[in-house]
Amino acid sequence: MLRQPLLQMSKSARVRHLVETAPVTRAVVKRFVAGDSAADAVRASGALVGSGRLVTIDHLGEDTLDLTQARATREAYVTLLERLSDAGLTQDGQAEVSVKLSAVGQALEGDGEKIALEHAWDICQAASQAGTTVTLDMEDHTTTDSTLSVLRELRGDFPWVAAVLQAYLHRTEGDCRDLSGEGSRVRLCKGAYDEPESVAFGSRAEVDASYVRCAKVLMQGQGYPMLATHDPRLVDIGGALAARAGRTQGSYEFQMLYGIRPDEQQRLADQGEKMRVYVPYGDDWYGYFMRRLAERPANVVFFLRSLATKG
Rounded to a whole number of angstroms, the minimum distance from the CB of residue 246 to ligand FDA is: 25
Cα 86 to Cα 265: distance, rounded to the nearest angstrom: 26
71 binds ligand FDA (CB under 6 A): no
CA dihedral of residues 227, 229, 231, 234 (deg, nearest 10)? -20
Pick from 70, 138, 217, 290 the residue near ligand FDA by CB under 6 A.
138
Range 252-291, binding ligand FDA (CB under 6 A): 255-257, 260-261, 278
185 binds ligand FDA (CB under 6 A): no
Residue nearest to ligand FDA (CB): 230
Cα 43 to Cα 37: distance, rounded to the nearest angstrom: 10
Tell me the HSE value of 173 on the side-chain side, using a 13 A CA sphere.
12
292 binds ligand FDA (CB under 6 A): yes
119 binds ligand FDA (CB under 6 A): no
Give the x/- contact pattern for ligand FDA in 29-68, rule: CB under 6 A: ----------------------------------------
Q: Are 253 and 275 in contact (CB under 8 A)?
A: yes
Residues 6+ apart with CB under 8 A from 267: none
Task: Tell me which residue of 84, 132, 75 sits closest to 103, measured CA to CA.
Answer: 75
Task: Tell me which residue of 56, 184, 276, 230 sits closest to 238, measured CA to CA.
Answer: 230
Which residues are known catalytic residues?
137, 187
Residues paired with 188 in a beta bridge: 165, 227
Rounded to a whole number of angstroms, the minimum distance from the CB of residue 78 to ligand FDA is: 21
- Only segment of 8-16, 77-85, 149-157, 249-257 that touches ligand FDA (CB under 6 A): 249-257
Q: Report the interface residues with ligand FDA, using CB under 6 A.
A: 137-138, 164, 166, 189-193, 228-231, 255-257, 260-261, 278, 292, 295-296, 299
